[in-house]
Structure 1
Amino acid sequence: MGIWKNHNFLVLFLGRIVTNIGDSIYYVAAMWLVYNLGGSAFYSGLAGFLTLLPSALQFVAGPFVDRWPIKRTLITTQIMQAVLILTIPVAYYFDVLTVQLVLIVMPIVAFIEQFAYPSQTKALPAILTQKELIKGNSYFSFAYQGIDLVFNAVSGILVAFMGAVTLYLADSVTFAVAAILFSLLKMKHIEDHPQSREKGFKTIMTHYFAELKEGFSIVFTSLMATFLIGSIMANFAIGAALAILPAFGEDHGGAHVYGFYLAAMSTGGLIGALLANWMGKFRLGHFSIAAFLIGTVCWVLAATLPWTYTGIVLYGIAWVPIGGTNVIFGAVMQTVIPNNMLGRISSVQRSMTVVAMPIGSLAGGYLAAIFGSTLIFAVSGLGLAFVSTVWILHPKLRKLPKADDMTPKLLHLPFPDEERTSQQE
């Protein structure tokens, strides 16, 4: 229970829950609204492209995240998202709502998120001890996946009965509540960074580009660069699948089926997150190879079997290794990277990892409009197999030890063990 007595962790966790409620409602409502206003899988693919593109640009936010106060960043991002999302119900009320407006708002909201989530990532290792990191990340993943599990399914049903615009209104409220929760953080000892007091535009930008370059340099001269090879192809496929899910759900029963598939994805990720500690007992290389191969088989069967609800279950199983390895890799990165550099390095890594998702989303929507959603959804499942293939072929990835035994040296990072992230008790 010690971790729950930590005021900052508790507030951050509650804020994360409320934010994730907003994200879940928003994503389901937005994708369905675009699909209905546009009348084609192409529009949902375009929406996915515009929503995911900011994630590929997260490296731009990294140096700012390292420099800006965590608390202020979290509050500001939630308020901005609340206001932007509110424009959709307002436009609907005045009868000026168009698919173009939704497509404009979606990427702006997504871009703001690129500052919020790295700030939460940066906060965790600063408020928890090193031994608490995997547990803390597991709780965060539990909140993330658990909220998705409930609200993806519920939102899919509510869209069918209440309409997407009503959910937008509720979503705006959740972001406002999250801002209030984040205002309760007490992190003065972390905020008071000398860089945050620098004056002068030229000085700030000089430091910004130096830090941005440093983040890229560290990632691409380490073993993290090899991680990206498999991740890029997998995320291309995931981007395609998420974009065509509204059309796939419509073809197999309607909005509620779309919600159940999203809920299955979250369930699988949640189970994986809860099993992260158990997964971490295995050698990371061997486990990743086997787990992603099993995930591939389940995904393809989920798309091709004629039984809808069996497919939903199999699709959830396919996401178990994704949920578990995300927690493990996140904890490893927070452990081996100094906190003052975690923002720029994690954002560069995430940007490069998801760079293919918006392209996959656009391609998936286009191809689904030609060949049908079922075929493209099945083919997208093969993206997970690419991860296993890369790890099989690369000897250093294949031989990676258990998560607890990971060091900066094993990942070819330029940080001696004694400089690993210091934690606040």
Structure 2
Amino acid sequence: MHSVFRNRAFARLFAGRLITNAGDSVYAVAAMWLAFELGGSSFYTGLAGFLTMFPQTLQFLVGPFVDRWRLRRVLVATQVAQAILVLTIPLAAATGRLSVWVVLVVMPVVSLLNQFVYPAQQAALPRIVDRDELVEANSAFSFAYQGVDFAFTALGGVLVALVGAVSLYLVDSVTFAAAALVFLTVRVPAAEKSAEKSDDGDGGVTTAVDDYLTRLREGIRYVRGSVLVWLLAASLVVNFTVGTTMAVLPAYANANGGPDAYGFMLAGIVGGLLVGSLAATPLKRFSLASLSVAGFAFGGVAWLAAVAVGWFPATVGLFFVAWIPVGATNVIFAAMIQSVVPEDLMGRVASVNASASAGAMPVGALLGGIAGDSVGSGAVVTCAGFGFVFLSLYWLAHPLLRGLSTVEDIEGERYGLARPPRAESSESF
């Protein structure tokens, strides 16, 4: 993995992600706990989760912009906007106007701005690193996300207990600003254009809108006609599980100790994702099918054991183990997509994938919050564990998924990942 860091553009992009993820990790703990504290029940954390996750379902709409705009500008602008926005919470607290509804308004707007960041980073990676380095680059990016999240979610729970959730919004604002400065130094080459030529437009509004819609449809058509649509079905199960779990986790942790317990439980989950992402490079020699079937079966058993064990340290440790397969498969699937999808489609495909797979998260969060108040947080977390077991059986039963090879041997044409015919469009957009 060390070789990819010799690439200056990648190293700077990685550094920016480290900084912004540190602030985001602390913010996520502070925001969910503040919603729970001000609202007083799992319903409000479920609603907070729904409002935060719902903008992810709209990410497909930003794909055409990401494929057209300069990626550095996208990264810098989103960081600056979020730095300003999160300051509204400390301001509301200082003026005596802070309520759970202020928190619930800010959370989805911050999340909406963040929807530009993921496809921009996904589109940047294949432009700045070689194809044979994509797994290593994605593994490093997952470390930037999961590793920092592991440390700072645990720290966030402790800091909430010590200084209060509102103070952590100030920390997040500073990290957004620092990340913007780092992203300013990143140079990302323009995407390689496809062989198809597009018509020259007159630059008018109608032409620009038509071109945007054409490009949007192209990204959706690419995903719909490939194996990615079946991968998305699997992602829906995982994300529904994530949504329900995150909605009741504050209440579940509160029964086991309070905000510090919440931080440690989040750290356990994120730690598993971290170890899985670091294990992706040696695991890439195995087929995608084998990793998914065995990994999610193992994760499901560990998850159910975490709920049943009845001893908090063991619960954290088993949650850690349960999320290792998720971390590994996330990295390897991202590398698979980047290795076969044409560069000038990458932003759209990444955003369509993210939007479609994220659709189950807000639904899971909302239903999980309601169920948590009705039947208890422990019952909801237990049911979520069966989602992983189901996912293993789904991969085993589906003939196309069951035959997926290693990421380096994937045949794009066999799985519908060749470039689709491109409709006429304008360059004015």
Give the TM-score, by structure 1 length: 0.95
Match of 2:59 in 1: 58
1:222 aligns with 2:223: no
In the aligned structure 2, how far is the partner of 1:187 from the partner of 1:60?
Answer: 22
Distance, in Å, in 1 between the alignment partners of 2:104 and 2:120 is: 26
Offset from partner CA, 1:301-352 (integer Å, 9 cap, x none): 1122210110100001110000000000000100000110001111111111
The CA deviation at 1:407 is 2.3
- Alpha-carbon spacing, 1:204–1:190, altered in 2? closer, same or farther (3 Å): same
Counterpart of 2:270 in structure 1 is: 266
Query: Take 2:367 and 2:311, find their aligned partners in 1: how far apart are those partners?
Result: 27
1:199 to 203, 210, 216: 203
Q: Which residue of 2 aligns with 1:276?
A: 280
How far does residue 198 in structure 1 lie from its aligned partner after superposition? 8.3
Letter in 2 for 1:137: N
CA distance in 2, matches of 1:198, 1:137: 40
Distance 1:141 1:98, change over 3 A: same
Corresponding position: 1:359 with 2:363: yes
Residue 324 of structure 2 corresponds to 320
Residue 99 (structure 2) pairs with residue 98 (structure 1): yes
**Cα distance change of structure 1 residues 186 and 198 upon mapping to structure 2, 3 Å threshold:** farther
- 2:168 aligned residue: 167
The Cα offsets for residues 23-56 of structure 1, whole Å up to 9 and x where unpaired, read as 1011100000000000001000000000000111
1:421 equivalent in structure 2: none
What is residue 186 of structure 1 aligned with on the other side?
Answer: 187
Taking the aligned partners of 1:237 and 1:2, their CA distance within structure 2 comes to 36
- State the Cα deviation string for residues 382-403 of structure 1 (Å, max 9, x = none): 1112221221111121111111
Contact 1:230 1:387 in 2 (8 A): yes
Provide the C-alpha distance between the structure 2 equivalents of 1:396 and 1:163, rounded to a whole number of angstroms: 50
Partner of 1:397: 401
Cα deviation 1:268-317 (Å, max 9, x = unaligned): 00110111012211121122101101101111111222101101000011
Partner residue, 2:419: 415
Match of 1:307 in 2: 311
**Which residue of structure 2 aligns with residue 422 of structure 1?**
none
Structure 1 191/414 Cα, relative in aligned 2: closer, same or farther at 3 Å? closer
User: Is the deviation greater in 290-299 or in 278-287?
Assistant: 278-287
Question: What is the CA–CA distance in structure 2 between the aligned matches of 1:172 and 1:218, rounded to whole Å?
Answer: 37
Structure 1 Cα separation of the partners of residues 393 and 17 of structure 2: 34
Q: Are residue 11 (structure 1) and residue 15 (structure 2) matched?
A: no
| 1:328-379 CA-partner distances (Å, limit 9, x unpaired) | 0000100000110001111111111111000000000000011111111111
Q: Following TM superposition, by how much is the alpha carbon of 1:135 offset from its aligned partner in structure 2, in angstroms?
A: 0.7
Alpha-carbon distance in 2 for matches of 1:134, 1:337:
15
Query: What 5-or-longer segments of structure 2 have no aligned partner?
Result: 421-429
2:142 matched residue in structure 1: 141
> Would you say the 8 A contact 1:82–1:171 is kept in 2?
yes
Distance in 2 between the 1:198 and 1:96 partners? 50
Distance 1:139 1:410 in 2: 29
Question: 1:342 pairs with 341, 346, 363, which one?
Answer: 346
Rate the CA distance shift 1:7–1:192 in 2: closer, same or farther, 3 A. Answer: farther
1:374 & 1:222 partners in 2: Cα distance? 38
Q: Could you tell me whether the CA contact under 8 Å between 2:67 and 2:348 is conserved in 1? A: yes
Aligned to 2:289: 285
Letter in 2 for 1:339: E
RMSD between aligned residues: 1.9
Q: Is the CA contact (8 Å cut-off) linking 1:235 and 1:383 kept in structure 2?
A: no
Rounded to whole Å, the distance in 2 between the matches of 1:189 and 1:375 is 50
Aligned residue type for 2:114: E
Aligned to 1:32: 33
Q: Which residue of 1 aligns with 2:252?
A: 248
Q: CA deviation at 1:63?
A: 0.8
Q: CA deviation at 1:187?
A: 3.0
In structure 1, stretches of 5+ residues that fail to align are 417-425
Question: Does structure 2 retain, via aligned residues, the 8 Å contact 1:42–1:369?
Answer: yes
Match of 1:79 in 2: 80
